[in-house]
Amino acid sequence: MHWIDLTIIGCYMVAMLGFGLFFLKKNEGADDYYVGGRNMGSLHVGLSVVATDVGGGFSIGLGGLGFVMGLSGSWMLFTGLIGAWLAAVLLIPKVKGNKAFDNAYTFPEVFKYYFNPKVALVAGIISAVGYAGFTSSQILAGAKLATGTFADLDLQTALIIMGSVAVLYTVMGGLKAVIYTDTVQWAILMVGLIFVGIPISYYAVGGWEAISQTVDPALLSMTNMDWQRVVYWAVTIIPIWFVGMTLYQRIYACNDEETAKRAWYLAGLFEWPVMAFMGISLGLFAKVGAAQGMFDYLGVANAAEADPETGLPMLLRTVLPVGLMGIMMSAYFSAILSTADSCLMAASGNVVSDIIGYFKDVDHDSDTFLRFSQITTLIIGAGALLIATRMTNVLNLMLYSYAFMVSGLFVPILGALYWPKSSSTGAIAAMILGGGTTLALELLLQTIVLNLQVIPLFNLPKIVWSIEKLPAGLDANVFGISVSAIVFFVVSLIFPDSKGSKAEVQAQENINATA
């Protein structure tokens, strides 16, 4: 890469660290650090929501989907639009419209209100683990982008560089810095894709004629997928809009309920069709470039030899001229940082407020709490970086983290908000067994073969149990959510809250108010 491009990228990284340092001096307490001062407008929050949700993992992951599936991969983010708009209608009025959450900081505080502190503790642990995985996926996305761009950069070194920048910036800045800089970062990404990345890449591979002659016609169809994949995306991505800690932080950060709704409607439109087709198209262009031998000089002779998720970085590295390359890479790094910082903030909030706060009362307005939060964020960020060194696929890491959270938390939050007979015992059981089912099935499928060693004294053969896929080819998350729903319903009826849950009390208050 030319020194001009390196300089642009370096300046961008320094600028992001500078933003973090600026807001480090501005933050005055937990409201600033975790919920952005609670006075944010719909434009800033909406762009921050989509920047966080799509961000680097899906940006690089979408390129990989476009490389493998073609245009049909865009349907993945259609589920993001559905989830955003459903949350605007069904969730935001229940949260932002309830004065009980005027001073809330985290998603599990909703469980604490409707159930009890133990339920909030379990939810906090699940959410913290999930968002540690999210953070790792973003660091890995940045590392893959960097290694595909810089010829002599290995993955481990790239992980350390991207991880350090993301973690340090987040530790210093807090959510207020995250939301404001997300707006700038998302604008950079949109301008970079619309005016630089897409037109230059399209021209470089030979336009539509070359694309249609090079790739399988199925990749140019919107139906190049099976129904199992549709179910997988739907049950994994739509529910995250109801259980995502990063999203609750932004709901709390909004001025009022209407501001939050407008932000979510805006975010949905940016997810699909805007970002969906831009990311998929670039991945498809990379497929064409690989088939044309465009990446021979990188040691990739054809599309079959390319890692789908590095196809996009290799394409941009090959076709972009000096100067524009630095701008485009900065755009992608901005997307990665915009998600990494939000996910890290979410995990930190869960650990400090929901887990540590369960055992010890904390003063959210003290300087000591702010410094402790920053230290916690630093520790979690280091752990996320370690996780990233163990994974190789950005999109799988992100979706596995989604699945773990969704299968444990989705049913209980719907029950808390909409089913008066929900109980604390039912919520905990559903979280543990729903999330546990998904995790167990995912691990089983990853292992493929489970060996059960019989006592060697009798010289009996080893028993081998081979599993290639789950019933009907469905994803483990489908079974996890199903188990969670059944357990939640049955246990709530068998073990109701002794004095009536908050949901029952609120339902009765609503009836009285209507009467």
Domain boundaries, the chain: 3-394
Q: List Cβ neighbours of 305 (8 Å cut-off, separation of 6 or more).
A: 290
Q: What is the pLDDT of residue 506?
A: 55
Helix (H, G, I), strand (E, B) or coil at 436: helix
Nearby residues of 177 by Cβ (< 8 Å), 6 or more positions away: 19, 20, 22, 23, 169
Q: Using alpha carbons, list the distances in angstroms from residue 499 to 115, 343, 424, 492, 507.
A: 11, 36, 11, 13, 14
Q: What percent of the chain has pLDDT over 70?
A: 86
The answer regarding whether domain 3-394 maps to CATH 1.20.1730.10 reads yes
- What is the pLDDT at residue 79? 94
What distance in Å separates the CA atoms of residue 17 and residue 323, rounded to the nearest whole number?
Answer: 22
| pTM summary value | 0.85
Q: Which residue has the tokens 């370096």?
A: 10
Of the spans 62-66, 132-136, 236-240, 413-417, which averages the highest pLDDT? 413-417
What residues contact residue 390 under an 8 Å CB cut-off, 6+ apart?
none
Q: Which three-class secondary structure state does DSSP give residue 451?
A: strand
Distance CA 81, CA 173 (A): 29
Separation CA 276–CA 372 (nearest Å): 39
Quote the CA–CA distance of 168 and 331 in Å, as a whole number: 19
Give the tens place of pLDDT for each residue, 23-74. Answer: 777 777 778 888 888 989 999 999 889 888 776 555 667 888 999 999 999 9
Task: Provide the pLDDT for residue 515.
Answer: 45
How far is residue 101's CA from residue 494's CA, in Å, rounded to a whole number?
29
**Burial class for 474, CB neighbours closer than 10 Å (0-12, 13-18, 19+):** middle
pLDDT of residue 327: 74
pLDDT at 320: 84
pLDDT range class, residue 289, cuts 50, 70, 90? very high
Query: How many residues are there in the chain?
Result: 515
Classify residue 17 by its DSSP letter.
Answer: H
**What's residue 250's pLDDT?**
94
435-465 tens-digit pLDDT: 889 988 887 766 543 444 444 434 444 444 4
